[in-house]
Chains A and B, each alone.
Chain A
Amino acid sequence: DAGVIQSPRHEVTEMGQEVTLRCKPISGHDYLFWYRQTMMRGLELLIYFNNNVPIDDSGMPEDRFSAKMPNASFSTLKIQPSEPRDSAVYFCASSFGVGSPLHFGNGTRLTVT
């Protein structure tokens, strides 16, 4: 199994630009999570899906952030417009049900200048 696949690995963009992060969960997994990690705030949940349906998006900072899961094998996290304070590592993770381990992707390091 290829594991959770995230792209791109690194993204550098200018303030105001749109950023799209992508995630392919492990095949068969029905839970998908988006996290953000910074030195100051640690690991923060942004949103999670169950069977492609958003369950809890209370961690999404503001309207500039949006996430979609059009099918079981793909999810996107979009930031529009991006700001320097969005700079962080964004992780995607997936699991099969609630009783199995959560598997993380390698993350996308976002830098907004």
Chain B
Amino acid sequence: QVQLQESGPGLVKPSGTLSLTCAVSGGSISSSNWWSWVRQPPGKGLEWIGEIYHSGSTNYNPSLKSRVTISVDKSKNQFSLKLSSVTAADTAVYYCARKEGYCSGGSCGYYFDYWGQGTLVTVSS
């Protein structure tokens, strides 16, 4: 059973950099999966931030791309998120998640099957 666990500061100052790590257990980060970050502002919906493959390839949400860096540490079986120049609008619960591929009826797609419990990051002075 794959488990993901987010960790990092719960409070970040405006204009600072948000840094979180997601530790993966029960499976290898070098498997054929992409690893994602998703966030949820209080009382609002889900927003995909970006993803990384164990090779280091990344994809980012265009609306956040200029401020986001996702990296992987295969030796520690974990991946990380950095979000720079944060404002109050970046206050959210941040989740890490595994993206799994599937093939059904001749087409192949993706879904998020394993999620961390989430960690609240508040941007405030």
Q: A and B bound?
A: no
